[in-house]
């Protein structure tokens, strides 16, 4: 608690705001493995996961272990180990996208949210436009898991846009609420500080 007090009192509002926003982004980030599309979260939640090309299976502890087990890159969505792999950028507030996994941790910010450079060797600022174009077409993405039935596939295509839109808006709502709350706290603190100074002057 002392660190927050020090940041907010000794430094300007932008430093305090940036620190709180960063922590909120960390807390609100999904619990699914790095680099996967939200629709594939259930697929990767299994203890034994099958490569999407059907070639073999691997255990969950080998997911994103920086060793390519599947030729199609299923086991390495969050690393650059597999040449055929794809990394999913959530880009909350902007347009989500897939990039080649060879671009992960390559010292160049490809995702506007900076999620592709997570190893700490380069700091990528979040340049996604908050509240920007959230109307994007996601029906083109279809999970390539072979166990889905065709009726579920059709339902999934329809539901993808709505699910991604809800997830994006939920992230924006949480950040906005946190920003407003932080602003209110700082205004109240400023008013209190001014009143204390004013009382000290009147008592002299």
Q: In the predicted model, is pLDDT for residue 174 greater than 60?
A: yes
Q: Alpha-carbon distance 141 to 161, whole Å?
A: 10
Q: In the predicted model, is pLDDT for residue 113 greater than 70?
A: yes
| Residue with the two structure tokens 């339902």 | 155
| Tokens matching residue 5 | 């007090």
Which own/partner contact pairs does 52-56 have at CB distance under 8 Å and 24+ positions apart? 52/144, 52/145, 52/146, 54/146
Q: Are 185 and 179 in contact (CB under 8 A)?
A: no
Beta strand 86-89 pairing with 57-59 = unpaired
Alpha-carbon torsion angle 109, 111, 114, 116, nearest 10: -80
Element (H, E) at 201: helix 150-203
pTM recorded for the entire structure: 0.51
pLDDT tier for residue 176 given thresholds of 50, 70 and 90: confident
Count of Cβ atoms closer than 10 Å to residue 134 Cβ:
16
- The contacts of residue 73 (CB under 8 Å, 6+ apart) are 81, 82, 83, 84, 85, 86, 101
Q: What pLDDT is recorded for position 16?
A: 55
Count of Cβ atoms closer than 10 Å to residue 58 Cβ:
17
- The contacts of residue 68 (CB under 8 Å, 6+ apart) are 75, 76, 81, 82, 83, 85
- The contacts of residue 77 (CB under 8 Å, 6+ apart) are 33, 34, 35, 36, 44, 63, 64, 85, 86, 87, 88, 101
pLDDT tens profile 38-78: 999 999 999 999 999 998 999 999 999 999 999 999 999 99
Q: Are 118 and 25 in contact (CB under 8 A)?
A: no
Q: What pLDDT is recorded for position 136?
A: 38
């Amino acid at each position: 608690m002392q660190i927050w007090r020090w940041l907010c009192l000794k430094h300007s509002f932008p430093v305090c705001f940036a620190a709180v926003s960063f922590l909120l982004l960390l807390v609100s980030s999904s619990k699914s493995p790095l680099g996967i599309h939200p629709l594939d979260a259930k697929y990767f939640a299994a203890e034994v996961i099958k490569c999407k090309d059907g070639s073999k299976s691997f255990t969950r502890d080998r997911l994103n272990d920086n060793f390519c087990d599947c030729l199609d890159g299923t086991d390495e969505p969050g690393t650059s180990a597999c040449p055929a792999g794809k990394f999913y950028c959530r880009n909350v507030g902007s347009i989500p996208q897939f990039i080649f996994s060879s671009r992960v941790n390559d010292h160049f910010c490809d995702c506007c949210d900076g999620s592709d450079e997570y190893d700490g060797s380069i700091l990528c600022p979040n340049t996604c436009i908050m509240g920007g174009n959230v109307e994007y077409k996601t029906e083109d993405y279809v999970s390539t898991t072979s166990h889905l039935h065709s009726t579920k596939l059709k339902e999934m295509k329809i539901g993808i846009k709505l699910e991604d839109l809800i997830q994006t808006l939920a992230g924006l709502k949480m950040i906005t609420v946190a920003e407003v709350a932080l602003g209110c706290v700082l205004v109240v603190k400023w008013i209190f500080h001014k009143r204390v100074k004013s009382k000290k002057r009147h008592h002299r």
